[in-house]
Structure formats: structure tokens, C-alpha cells
Amino acid sequence: MDTTPENNEKSPEMTDIILDKDGDVIFLVGDGDVSVSRIRVSSKVLILSSPVFEAMFTHGFAEGHNLSATSPRVIPLPDDGVLAMTLLCQIIHHKHQDVPKALGMNHLVELTILCGKYDCVLAVQPWGMIWTTELLPRAVEEGFEKLLFITYGLDLAENFFKLTEHLVKNRLVKIEVANAIPGYEGDPELFQASLPETLEEARAERIQKVLEAFESVMIPFLDGPYTTRECQRSTVTDYFHSLSAAGLWPLSRRLQAFTIPQILKILDKVSLPRSDTCECEIWEGGCHLQKTSPDGIIPTLCAGLQAIDKATTGICLDCWRVGREAYDMQECRVKH
């Protein structure tokens, strides 16, 4: 009987990676369908970086028996990704020259999950800071909610704070829970649903405050002692017409398409000059229509928007984990 494999069947590619030529362990990584890597490592180095590896090699498990550099023990890891495990072992063995300076989102997710599995987050944190810092500007893009999972899972307090602030301030599309929690198994109540939902609520609240800022500057012209003045009544029409011409009308829909800095840039080109026939100069209280006046409509609106922007901050990872609402000098790694 001919047992030759068919031409369209390919054997999995085998790659040998030597991280310690005197290593006493060989990880056989991958499920064999596409690729498999044989990673030669040192159990002593792994033990120093991971309580899980320490238990594996020192607490009587079969993997820890008869370890020898002359005859390294082969340990199959079929459930672990080749790239993620290779990166993890390279970092643990200080082979930093082989670690990429940039890493894609999906690979970062896979590595984050692996770090949680083997409890070796601390070893990867410096590289995690480098990789996530590179990706932070793209957090506003749809699908990049995964950065929440990564910065949380790798315990990157500073970038977690920056990311959550960036999402609330600059994200123009909904923060999707499903995108933010790719297979995360730890802290389900604190992370899986409530964190993305909390950020989405904060983003929606911010949009509402921006809308209220646009409405509140009209209150003196709609409800007050000076509403009988012709110039003040016409201002209401001029105000909304100017917003429409600037692309900000209707407010409830258009304001969601811009960040506050973008709105301020648009408003910088909007002016509501006083009418040539305005007699407000001789009236007590003066005129609200001069752009250069502290009480002017556009300056007042811009000041309100700037205050909203300044008041928006990120979430402290250390506070979030324990449900703390105020800054703790001793516990919080990021001042807020």
C-alpha cells in the first residue's frame, strides 16, 4: 500500500531556537498544524521569572525530573502560540537584540494572555511599555479597544491612564466591549464588562457636556432682562446660522464627529459682530456680542469647552483594581 502523503499535504515547519546552548529544557511549541518551534531554554532562568515555571520545575512535577544540559527534557506546549512563546522566552533570557521594537495588536494580545498564564508580567512590562506607546495614537480607531486589555493585563499603569484618557477625549466611535476583551480570563467583573462600559459612559457624558455648553451660552438671549433688544434677539438666529455654516449643526449629531480641540479650531473662525445699529453701549450690562469681550458668546463657549477638556482625565489602574475613588500617594503609581 502506498503511504506517501498527497502532494497538497505539507508537514509542519520545524524551527530550532537556541536561547541557551546549555539549556536543560526544550519547549516544543505549537499544535503541529502549521509550524512548530523547538525552543531550548534554561529552567533556572525561567524559575527566576515565573512562579508557574518555578512550580513546574521544582515542585515534583514530571517536567522537573532529571533535567540535564546534556539531555534536555522536551516539554510539549501545544496550546501556546509560537511567536508569543518565542518572544516571552527571548525576553526572559535577555535576548533583547532579537526582540522586535514594534509588535502588532493581535500578537500583543496573544503575548498578554501568555504572560497571564505563566504569571510573568513583570518580565515583559518594559517591552510592553515600548509596544503600547507606539500604538496609543491609534486607540481612537475602531478595533483598537484591545489596548485596554493589553495595558490592563500587562499592568502598565502609566499607559493605561493615558489610554483611558485618550479614549474618552478623542474616540469618535463607540467603545465596543467585545473588541476590548479578547479571551481575558482574570478579573472578569473588574475588567471584562465594566471597564469598557465605564469609558463609554464617560465618553457619552463628555459629549453631553459639550452639547450643554453650546446651549448654555444662549440662555441670556432666550431668558433674561435683555431679550427685548433687537440685536440680542437677532443674535440667536445668527448664532445657530453660524454654527450651521461651520458644519456644527445639528448639534446633537455633528458634535459627536469632532474632538474638543477640533471644535475650538472651528470656532476660532466663527464671529458674531455687533450690529451697526446696536445701542447696547448705553444700556446697563453692555452687549454680549463683541468677540473680544469677556462676556462674548464665542469666548464664553470656548472657555467652557476648554474647562471640559481639562477636567477629563484617565483612569488610575491601581484605583480601578481595588475600587478606590481617590488618589492614594502610597498606592497609586500615576498621580491624578
Q: In a structure prediction context, what are the per-residue pLDDT tens digits for the chain, which is 336 residues long?
A: 444 344 444 455 778 999 999 999 999 998 766 668 999 999 999 999 999 999 988 876 555 556 778 889 899 999 999 999 999 999 999 999 999 999 999 999 999 999 999 999 999 999 999 999 999 999 888 888 889 989 999 999 999 999 999 999 999 988 877 777 665 444 444 455 688 889 999 999 999 999 999 999 888 777 766 566 677 777 788 899 999 999 999 999 999 999 999 999 999 998 876 655 566 654 455 555 544 454 578 999 999 999 999 999 999 999 998 889 999 999 999 999
Q: Would you say residue 154 lies in a domain?
A: no
For the chain, report the end-to-end CA distance as a whole number of angstroms: 74
| Domain assignment of residue 297, yes or no | yes
Q: Is residue 50 part of a domain?
A: yes
- pLDDT for position 280: 62
Specify whether the CB–CB gap between 75 and 28 falls below 8 A. yes
Per-residue pLDDT at 92 = 97
What's the pLDDT score for residue 61?
57
Predicted pLDDT at 292: 42
pLDDT (0 to 100) of residue 296: 78
Number of domains in the chain: 2
CATH code at position 57: 3.30.710.10
Global pTM value = 0.85
Residue 157 belongs to some domain of the structure: no
Would residue 228 count as lying in a domain?
A: yes
d(CA 79, CA 47): 20
Buried/exposed code over 25-45 (b: 16+ C-beta within 10 A; e: otherwise): bbbbbbeeeeebbbbbbbbeb
Structural domain includes residue 285: yes
Residue 244: inside a domain, yes or no? yes
Q: Structural domain of residue 300, as residue ranges?
A: 208-311
Question: Is 160 among the domain residues?
Answer: no
C-alpha cell at 114: 501568555
DSSP string, 27-60: EEES-SSSEEEEEEE-HHHHHHH-HHHHHHHHSS
Residue 234 has a pLDDT of 78
235 by DSSP, 3-state: which? Answer: helix
pLDDT for the residue 290: 47
Specify whether the CB–CB gap between 199 and 179 falls below 8 A.
no
pLDDT at res. 182? 62
Q: What span, in angstroms and rounded, lies between the C-alpha atoms of 82 and 90?
A: 12
Torsion of the alpha carbons at 230, 231, 232 and 238, rounded to the nearest 10: 120
pLDDT of residue 197: 85
* pLDDT at position 235: 79
User: At which of 94, 113, 130 does a domain end?
Assistant: 94
The last residue of a domain, from among 64, 94, 124: 94
Domain end call among 94, 112, 129 = 94
